[in-house]
Amino acid sequence: MNPKDPKSQPINPEHSAIPPQAQTIALGIEFNGSNYRGWQRQQAGVASVQEELEKAISRVANHQVTLQGAGRTDAGVHASNMVAHFCSPSERTQHQWLRGINTWLPNDIAVRWVKNMDPQFHARFKANARRYHYVCSVQNHPSALMSGMVTCINQAVDVSLMQEAADLIVGEHDFSSFRAAACQAPSPIKRIEFARFSAQGSLVVLDIKANGFLHHMVRNLMGTFLKVGQGELKPSCVSEILLAKDRTLAPATAPPDGLYFVNAYYPAKFELPEMSIGPLWLNNH
C-alpha cells in the first residue's frame, strides 16, 4: 500500500460520522494549483485541492472530514497560506496532525501549520479580509522554470502607470465591471485596503488586500492594469470602467498562472500564526 495514494487504503466505515464534542482545527495550506480545477470539491473524477486535503485529513482522523476554506480559487491558481478548518473528536497533537496529513498529500499540496481553535472559529465566515498576489514575468521568451507559476508577458510595462491606475480602486467601490458573469456574491461592492505594485528584477507583482473579492475580480483587474502598463489605456480609464458597472468595457481576464491566495485575516482573538506572505520563492516586499 502506498501512503502517497489515499485511494490505496479505505477509511474505516465504522468511523464515517463525526461524533459530538469535536475539536475545531485550523490549517495553513500552500499548493500549486496547476493540476487542479480549483480549490472547491468538484464532481467525481475532477481534481480539486479541497478533495485531496479531505482525503488526507480523513486518513489521520479515521473518519470522514469536511474542510472549509477561507476562499475559493480558480483552476490553475495557487496559494501560499490558504486558511481552512475542519472538526474532529480524534485526539491528535498538532504535530501529529501536521506530519500525518502531509504524509498522505500529493507533492503539490502541503500543510504549513495546524492550530486547535475556539469552536466559534470558521475559516470562511470569520475572515474579515483576504489578500492576493499576482506575479508577472516580463521577458521576451517563455520561462521553463516558472511555467504555470507566473504569467509571462513579452512586452515591457510601466509599473508607475500601473500603480497610478491601482490607486484609483482603493476604497469602497462597485466592482461589477470586474466581476465574472458566473459570480454568486450577493453584492458587487467591496472595499480595497491597498493595491500595490512592485518590481523585482524581471518580476512585476501586484499585492492587493480587500474585505472580499468577486469571482475573477483580481484577474480582471490585472488584465486592465497590464493594458495600462503597456500604454494601451490611460490610468484614468480604470475610474471610467468602474463607474460604468459594465464588464464588457474592461479588458480580457488575465491568466490564472500568476495568481496566489496569500492570506486571510481574522480578529486578533483567534491568534492565528503569523506566516510569511506570498509565494515563498519571492523576496518579501
- pLDDT tens for each residue of the chain, 285 residues long: 444 454 444 444 334 444 557 899 999 999 999 999 999 888 777 899 999 999 999 999 999 999 999 998 989 999 999 999 999 999 999 999 999 999 999 999 999 999 999 999 999 999 999 999 999 999 878 778 888 889 999 889 999 999 999 999 999 999 999 999 888 888 999 999 999 999 988 899 999 999 999 999 999 999 999 999 999 999 999 999 999 999 999 999 999 999 999 999 999 999 998 776 666 556 544
- Find the catalytic residue in 5, 74, 108, 118: 74
Known catalytic membership, residue 108: no
User: How high is the pLDDT of residue 20?
Assistant: 58
Q: Residue 150 belongs to what domain range?
A: 130-261
Q: Can you read off the three cell numbers belonging to residue 155?
A: 512586452
Do 112 and 140 belong to one domain? no
User: How high is the pLDDT of residue 172?
Assistant: 97
Residues 6+ apart with CB under 8 A from 99: none
Give the other-Cβ count within 10 Å of 217's Cβ.
25
Do 138 and 251 belong to one domain? yes
Do 94 and 28 belong to one domain? yes
285 within some domain: no
pTM of the model: 0.88
Cα end-to-end span (Å), the chain = 44
User: How high is the pLDDT of residue 284?
Assistant: 46
280 within some domain: no
Q: Which CATH number characterizes residue 107's domain?
A: 3.30.70.580
19 within some domain: yes
The total number of structural domains that make up the chain: 2
233-257 burial: b if 16+ Cβ within 10 Å, else e: bebebbeebbeeeebeebbebbbbb
Q: Which CATH number characterizes residue 139's domain?
A: 3.30.70.660
- CA 129, CA 95: separation in Å to the nearest integer? 28
171 within some domain: yes
User: How high is the pLDDT of residue 279?
Assistant: 66
185 within some domain: yes
What string of DSSP letters covers the chain? --TT-GGGSPPPGGG-S--SSPEEEEEEEEE-GGGSS-SS--STT---HHHHHHHHHHHHHTS----EES----TT-EEEEEEEEEEE-----HHHHHHHHHHHS-TTEEEEEEEEE-TT--TTTT--EEEEEEEEEE-SS--STTTTTSEEESS---HHHHHHHHHTT-EEEE-GGG--TT---S--EEEEEEEEEEEETTEEEEEEEES---TTHHHHHHHHHHHHHTTSS-TTHHHHHHHHT-GGGS-PPPPSTTEEEEEEE--GGG-PPP---S-TTSPP-
Q: Can you read off the three cell numbers belonging to residue 206?
A: 501586484
